[in-house]
Chain A
Amino acid sequence: MNLNVNSVDSLVTQILGLSGSSQDVAHLNSLLKQSEDVIRSQAATFAPCLIRLDPSLHSLGYLYVLEACTAAPVPEAQANELILLVVRFIDVCSVDQIRLVPEKFISVCKRLHELVMTLRAPIRAVGPLLTAIHKIQPSPEHLTPLHTDFLQVCLLAKCYKVGYSIMEDDICEIDQPRDFFLYCYYGGMICIGQKRFAKALELFHNVVTAPMPTLSAIAVEAYKKYILVSLIHLRQFSATLSKYTSTVAQRNLRQLSQPYVDLAETYSTGNVSELKAFVQANQEKYENGNNLGLVKQVVSSMYKRNIQRLTQTYLTLSLQDIATTAEINTPKEAEMHVLEMIEDGEIYATINQKDGMVRFLEDPEEYKTCEMIEHIDSSIQRIMKLSKKLTTMDESLSCDPLYLSKVGRERQRFDFDDFDNVPQKFNL
């Protein structure tokens, strides 16, 4: 049975009729699919039916029509209305129904993203996209194409906290590698905004070491930021990439981010004035890469690094000495740096203002408290779960027919009586 799409009314009644139970909905879905082109070509005429349909009950039908309406380019005047429509839909739509046609849902959301960008009001999309992600994710570990759009609008609207809330879920399942790169890159930037440098480092590292048949520009930019965050957070940088980095990356990344690699080398000498001079000389390049802010943070982290080295050799040191060794201008500034570091928990010390002396203490953590035991316990549990996941993945992969056929092909045959790991049917 075909849908009767001759008129708006007939379509509406049919949708209304078939939106009751889940079997009806599935039936409706197949019907709508068949009439998809018709709906799309006559999108303008079908627009009024949106008013008559209830998005929460008839989400599927609503979605089809909505998608058809948004498929065509929209003039700016109407953009606002359309945005409101889409936002409302996302808010109230029913999860089961839209999960039948995820690609349509995603394309609608992407259109929302575009419209919002043309209107230069990225903040309008932050909330809706967040709801959309939660509705369409099969599980919190899945990466959807909406993640990247969401993170982008968060960055543009400077809503780092909201963006960070989604970064807290660890991603395991990926549908499209393309999304992954951008997700990691934007996600890293959001983490930097929230000052979670460890997580940012992890994300950038993932981009740089991801399998890449050809060099991706995102990876190059991510590598530059990786160097800078590594200097800020770890106070050191090692230029050797891990073994599992793709050969393309290994060969080219260094050359393409030469000013940053040189910065890392200058940093390792520990000489503040040299570093400042170097930054001054290359300021333009850093500006072009939009990284000047991070570079300034690198320079200020140099003081912290020098002070941290002092804690290894001295028990007490006068502020004057700290200032001279770490090349800080005045003892007052040195005091400020030390104070910051104590507050951040990076060093343990007490400042005696009367003498102008700083006394460095040992880490007071005794590893004897209940909280520590709980922390260790929960870490053990988490890692055991992770291990289990790894083993299950390994097992499922060994049963995968594609894998077995490849192994079967490349297996060397020594003797007919050799123990066969792979059944005969996989030989080619």
Chain B
Amino acid sequence: STIHRKVLNNRRSKASNRNPNETLRLTFVIMETEEEASRPMTDEIYTNGGDDESLSQQQQRRPIISGEQLDIEAYAALYSGRTKISRLIFISDKCNNVSMQLEALRMAYDEIKKGENTQLLREVVQKIDGRLGPNYGADLAWMDSVDRRADQRKEKLENELNAYRTNLIKESIRMGYNDFGDFYYAHGALGDAFKNYVRTRDYCTTSKHIIHMCLNAILVSIEMGQFAHVTSYVSKAEQNKTDLDPITIAKLQCAAGLAQLEARKYKHAARKFLDTAPELGNNYSEVIAAQDVATYGGLCALASFDRAELKAKVIDNINFRNFLELVPEVRELIYDFYSSHYASCLDYLGNLKANLLLDIHLHDHVEKLYTQIRNKALIQYTHPFVSVDLNMMANAFKTTVAGLQKELEALITDNQIQARIDSHNKILYARHADQRKATFQRVLQTGVEFDRDVRAMLLRANLIKHDYNLKASRKI
């Protein structure tokens, strides 16, 4: 069994060079030497992915990360600015655990106090409802002073802007509008902020200005949830290819990916995220963290790519590997899926689900992505076989035979699996359409339809001719 473990450790480290067939062969050799070769050989051939060790040994080898409760501080540390506050509030809304809720709200409160958004503070105070003690109540004094300062600043900005406008100095006007945009953004008036940022467009002289404007517009649009704008401004910024540095390119890719994710175009979103350069690092913490790029990209790719694309763009993608290192569970589950360890893949997914539901962008898509991944797993499992034993398949997917039958029925009716179920013996048989028969049937059918349509057409033509003759003869 020591030989056993060594081989397995080897296999684990060479994740990228994994070749299931080779490992299967190796384990066969080792199986011969082990005394407890209790299970019959046939099991090994048919069980997908080489489930060759017993369950306990599996558990020893792989520390099953049971998607532990989200560490809110660590999570919040990944972000900065307004998105940090929005995410914390979202977590407190969606989380069931009271202590986590309060923790999130407390951190949100602290963060808001560092800024100038009184409206948000009021919201958070309402949610806290006094549960965190007197220090976290409605700090009216602070709110008043902030509002007064805001009014003063606004007046000052207005005066400056008017002065610049009368002097018609383009650059100053642009800076003026930009400052206004920043001001409104800090105070939570997102609509006004967006308007002002967009107004700077007329006064942009260099492409750097345009890129700056686009980035601001994208930021505000994401906060507002208007992803149509995001897409248009990303494409606008990408037109100035020469002036884009790698970090900005990476930022734009992420923004585009988010927009596609929101539009439920998982394949496009995955492509965008996978193409993000690792230079992104934590430079876009006001929108997205590197971990998110990995998670979103990985899950969307798994749900929408076919096997070839998955290998080429995810597993063999060196750039993306840097991202995947940050979220080892996602990496593991992608590799498990590719090497057909469906049970553990689905395990990982199940464990991650609770935390993914707390993510502000992924929340609405978790169910759909999960269903798609599960369906893909089922289809991939049945694809290479002429016949599949439903009992074994149910074991591999940790579900009952009846439930599995229902799922397969739905997939077959949807024409995603070409097979038929033998419900008596619980076997799935692959079924390939007979081209010749299908062609004959189609030919005969077309003949019948042609016959019917032409005869109907002649009839109608006769009717029209009759009517027309009547009218014409009346005229003449």
Contacts and interface: CB of A to CB of B under 8 A. Distances in A.
Interface residues of B, number: 37
Interface in B424-463: 424-425, 429, 434, 436-437, 440, 443-444, 447, 450-452, 454-463
Interface string B388-420: 000000000000000000000100110000001
Nearest to B412: A313
Contacts of B423: 314-318, 321
A384 B472 CA distance: 33
B462 A172 contact: yes
A313 B409 contact: yes
A379 B467 contact: no
B467 A402 contact: no
Contacts of A321: 423
A355 interface: yes
A386 B422 contact: no
Given A367-B436, A376-B444, A383-B450, A393 B458 contact: yes
A213 B434 CA distance: 48
B445 to A, nearest CB: 11
Interface string B125-167: 0000000000000000000000000000000000000000000
A372 B420 CA distance: 28
B191 to A, nearest CB: 42
A318 B422 CA distance: 10
Nearest to B453: A242
A367 B437 contact: yes
A390 interface: yes
Given A379-B444, A386-B455, A390-B454, A210 B424 contact: no
A170 B444 contact: no
B421 A171 contact: no
A363 interface: yes
A210 B437 contact: no
A315 B463 contact: no
A315 B424 CA distance: 9
A205 B456 contact: yes
A195 B391 CA distance: 46
A211 B422 contact: no
B437 A202 contact: no
Contacts of A11: none
Contacts of B452: 202
Contacts of B421: 313-315
Contacts of B240: none
Interface in A381-395: 382-383, 386-387, 389-390, 393
B462 A174 contact: yes
Contacts of A209: 456, 460
A389 B469 CA distance: 21
B307 interface: no
A173 B437 CA distance: 38
A49 interface: no
Interface string A238-257: 00000010000000000000
Interface in A347-404: 355, 357, 360, 362-363, 365-367, 372, 375-376, 379-380, 382-383, 386-387, 389-390, 393, 397, 402
Nearest to A405: B472
Contacts of A386: 450-451, 454-455
A355 B425 CA distance: 12
Given A177-B467, A315-B420, A317-B423, A202 B413 contact: no
B456 A313 contact: no
A62 interface: no
A425 interface: no
B432 to A, nearest CB: 12
Contacts of B64: none
Contacts of A363: 437
Contacts of A382: 451
B460 A244 contact: yes
A413 interface: no
A206 interface: yes
B15 interface: no
Contacts of B447: 379-380, 383
A312 interface: yes
Nearest to A311: B420
B466 interface: yes
Contact of A211 (B436, B467, B469): B467
A174 B451 contact: no
A376 B441 CA distance: 11
B451 A383 contact: yes
B386 interface: no
A309 B463 contact: no
A174 B437 CA distance: 40
Given A315-B420, A379-B447, A382-B451, A210 B462 contact: no
Contacts of A313: 409, 412-413, 420-421
A252 B413 CA distance: 36
B424 A312 contact: no
Nearest to B452: A202
Contacts of B461: 393
A267 interface: no
A164 interface: no
Contacts of A366: 437
B459 A206 contact: yes
B75 interface: no
Nearest to A367: B440
Contact of B424 (A174, A357, A383): A357
A211 B463 contact: yes
A379 B452 CA distance: 12
A316 B437 contact: no
Contacts of B444: 375-376, 379
A89 interface: no
Interface string A177-209: 100100000000000000000000010011001
- Candidate in A205, A365, A379, A397 with the most chain B CB atoms within 10 angstroms: A379
13 contacts: A171-B459, A172-B458, A177-B466, A206-B459, A210-B463, A314-B421, A316-B424, A318-B424, A365-B437, A376-B443, A383-B447, A386-B450, A389-B458
Given A211-B464, A312-B413, 11 more contacts: A177-B467, A205-B456, A210-B459, A309-B413, A314-B422, A360-B420, A367-B436, A376-B444, A379-B451, A393-B458, A402-B472
Interface of B: 409, 412-413, 420-425, 429, 434, 436-437, 440, 443-444, 447, 450-452, 454-469, 472
